[in-house]
Structure 1
Amino acid sequence: RGADAGGEHARSAAIFLSGGSPQKGGVKAGITVDQLAARHIGQDTPLPSIELAIEEVSLSCGAGYGCAYFNTIAWQTPTVPLPMENSPQAVFEKLFGDGGTTEQRLARKKEDRSILDSIREQTLGLKATLPSSDRARIDGYLDDIREIERRIKTVLDREAQAVNKQSVPDAPVGTPEAFEEHVKLMFDLLTLAYQSETTRVATIMLAKDLSPTSYPASGNRGGFHGASHHANIKANMDNFALINKYHISMLAYFIDKLSKTPDGDGNLLDHSMVLYGSSMSNGNQHDHDPLPIVLVGGGSGQLQGNRHIVTPAHTPMANLLLSMLDKLGVHQDSFGDSTGKLEI
């Protein structure tokens, strides 16, 4: 059970991938596993890592902990939290934009031309040197880029129309259709980023601790944080489970996308490790043990899969993270508050 009831939500995100000990009155947690991985496998890609989120930055932190602990799950060093981008447009430009500066990107927007057009000549030149099977793969890749570009434009146009309507009400607490569209678009962008080897390492934060967001599409219209305090009443617990089921259906979408994307002698899922979970086990009691964690993917033959591993009570999450680093070829004796390694 959490020993710092007032700060369990404020600091748990910073602990999730670091196994660190966030300090009050400053900004200090621990380097996260994604950043150690990026140092090892991300140095020869355009972006060593990319950090994504669905919700906007929150200033509702408190309990003496800085907001940096609350708003990101990625830390480059123990004192350098990485901002998480929640704009698909910004992510798209970061991944595929042909302008290296803000001014260049703005100039491209004024020209109203597609990012796809800016790489067409290079792509055509490359296609001419490839066998037909590879040419078809590149065509599919470019089609995916154009489709995502179209979807982003649709979302932006919709937002612009809403702004111009004087009758637009205040933004609702939860917009489940937008949430699902947002998450799937981010996962599509991640798939393209992996496919193009623009990056090999990514983190995405679907929801923050204390999030008031509601997800009517899940069947539960209550806010996420309120639903997590279920008072051990079965009906409340069942309702909270609906939100968790809805969230993990987003993961299923991503996994399916990876499994259908060719990569070398297999697919992207074969060559990936996808970690999904929560920094809280029982929100009603602010309990962190045991954490609900799913690890998916073949890890290029490194992961056994098809198993349910039950660890002894109070096994640190960092034991799993240390084991994942091992599979990536990052060998070290400890990580965060680890006490050993898991057989994964």
Structure 2
Amino acid sequence: MSKPSYKPRLKTLNRRMLLRGASTCLALPWLEAMLPRSAAAAESTKVVPRMGMFYFGTGMNMREFYPEGYGKDAKMSRILKPLEEQRDQFTVLSGTSLSHGGGHDGAYPFATSIARGEKQTISPDQLAAEVQGKHTRFPSLQLSVKRGTGFGSQALATISWNRQGIPLAAENDPQTIFNHLFRPPNSQQLLQQSDEFRQRGSVLDAVLSDAKRLQTRLSQSDRQQLDQYFHSIREVETTLGREMDWSDRPKPKPNLDGFGDYEKAIAPEGNGKFVYDTYAKLMYDLIALAFQTDSTRVVSYVVRTELAGGVYPEFGVSKGYHELTHHGNDPKNLEELARVDTIYMQHWSHFLNRLASIREGEGTLLDNTLLGFSSGMGIGHSKDVLPTMISGGSGLGIRHQTHLQLKDNTPLSSLWQTMVERMGVNVDGEFQDSTGTIGELLA
């Protein structure tokens, strides 16, 4: 008679338990066994969704971007070769377009479908932040290779827009971002922070009081303008309230084993020797750390802006990225363009590997994270042959197939709608110029 299998019942551990020996005491790290058994089971099945939107300015060499064939067995192109081992974690989408894309204004409609010069609206990442940002210290993070917004120029530095259509400034310094996320304030900073809270609160009270008195003396049109102003003030109030609420909660301390040195990080316009390979990995790893510690669940990142930059000395090419895109069918220009794009995909592979290396529940952080990237143009500054990919999210109901052919001129917004709905956003009515979610991606 076979002996019955025996599964020992795990005893719940005390969170304050210490390891004692050799006259020293070490606190145990957080372990699942420290949760009550029922709580541990609930924790293991809980899925926290994350989302990232990524912009690669000035397109890519589309002649060497799309895989050969369709479905899971599609053959990797030269540019996508670094992602061969991760083919089960992404889907390249052929057929996406931007109705106002092409040229060098593509960053403006990228996330909203609204052309440059027109009144913008809220971007998908901010829709997700309204739902998921209630649970995190930072509702969203805006990252870029260029600091600020770049608003008004073609080299837009952000793809995030609030409900008033105002661009949200991005940060590009890895050290600044790391400190923002994880560095606890010292006593002097805490005192200064407390003073700032009081001052900002007093200013808001005074502004609201004056604005309400003014409201009774305005025309209907002016009142509408004032209502928008009130909405902006309420946003500032909400932000202030959030900062005050989180100010007495300690920031997380991430495990940096295997990560780069954020104390010595150099921003693109900083002093010292800038190496893009180091910078790119630091930035992608910061996103992974922010997601892992649940500091935020929503990120946007302008990896490459339009026109300026895009190549670095270690890439070993002869021209700037924009100049290479005006290739004139010169084999050398096309080869160098593909070389640069391949380097960017090597960094994307690093990012996916980093997320996949972090265990979470019954899967990985990558399983619970939706990542979408594309551009405002394809090759030849086209608006309907875009380098579009969705990665991760298998735990959120995404079914990957390496290469998927969509209907010609499928709006890029259909991808954003698919992602935000997976993030728990209830899309009521029309979503930008989307034709609906991409059903072929859904499990």
TM-score bracket relative to the smaller structure: 0.7 to 0.9
The C-alpha deviation readout for 1:18-58, integer Å capped at 9, x for no partner, is 2223326xxx3221111111112221111111011123458
Query: Counterpart of 1:115?
Result: none
CA contact (8 A) 2:100 2:115 kept: no
Give the equivalent residue in structure 2 for 1:86. Answer: 172
Q: Which amino acid aligns with 2:111?
A: L
Match of 1:46 in 2: 137
- What per-residue deviation string (whole Å, max 9, x for no partner) do you get for residues 305-333 of structure 1? 13311122222101111122222232323
The answer on 1:143 being equivalent to 2:255 is yes
Determine the C-alpha separation between the residues in 2 that align with 1:216 and 1:230.
20
Paired amino acid for 1:316: P
Q: Is the 8 A contact 2:100 2:113 kept in 1?
A: no
Q: Choose between structure 1 and 2: higher strand proportion.
A: 2
For residues 254-265 of structure 1, the aligned pairs below 5 Å read 254-265=351-362
The aligned counterpart of 2:417 is: 322
Partner of residue 30, structure 2: none
Q: Rate the CA distance shift 1:100–1:15 in 2: closer, same or farther, 3 A.
A: farther
Name the CA distance, whole Å, in 2 between partners of 1:237 and 1:160.
Answer: 31
Answer whether contact 2:146 2:172 (CA < 8 A) is retained.
yes
Does residue 295 of structure 1 match 2:390?
A: yes
AA aligned opposite 1:154: K
Q: How does 1:241-280 map to 2 (within 5 A)?
A: 241-280=338-377
Q: How does 1:299-310 map to 2 (within 5 A)?
A: 299-310=394-405
Counterpart mapping for 1:1-344 below 5 A: 8-9=103-104, 11-23=105-117, 28-57=119-148, 66-67=152-153, 70-99=156-185, 103-104=189-190, 142-144=254-256, 148=260, 151-155=261-265, 162=272, 178-282=275-379, 284=380, 286-332=381-427, 333-343=429-439, 344=441
Q: Percent identity, aligned pairs only?
A: 28
Return the letter of the residue paired with 1:335. F
Shift of 1:216: 3.8
Q: Is the 8 A contact 2:149 2:167 kept in 1?
A: no
Q: Is the 8 A contact 1:270 1:298 kept in 2?
A: yes
Q: Separation in 1 of the partners of 2:271 and 2:369?
A: 40
SS in 2 for 1:280: coil
SS in 1 for 2:162: strand
Query: Measured at CA, do residues 178 and 105 of structure 1 come closer, stay the same or move farther in structure 2, by a change above 3 Å?
Result: farther
Alpha-carbon spacing, 1:90–1:146, altered in 2? closer, same or farther (3 Å): farther
Alpha-carbon distance in structure 1 between the residues aligned to 2:421 and 2:297: 16
Which protein has greater RCO, CA pairs closer than 8 Å, 6+ apart?
Answer: 2
Contact preservation (8 Å) 2:371, 2:390: yes
CA contact (8 A) 1:277 1:294 kept: yes
Q: Structure 1 unaligned runs (5+)?
A: 108-121, 124-137, 163-174
Is contact 1:212-1:226 (8 Å) kept?
Answer: no
Match of 1:117 in 2: none
Q: 1:263 to 1:102 in 2, by over 3 A?
A: farther
Structure 1 residue 2: deviation in Å?
A: 9.3
Q: Pick closer, same or farther for the CA change 1:278–1:161 going to 2, 3 Å.
A: closer
Task: Give the drift of 1:239.
Answer: 1.6
Deviation at 1:268, TM superposition (A): 0.4
Q: CA, structure 1 residues 102+191, in 2 after alignment: closer, same or farther (shift >3 Å)?
A: farther
Please tell me whether Structure 1 or Structure 2 has the larger radius of gyration of its CA atoms: 2
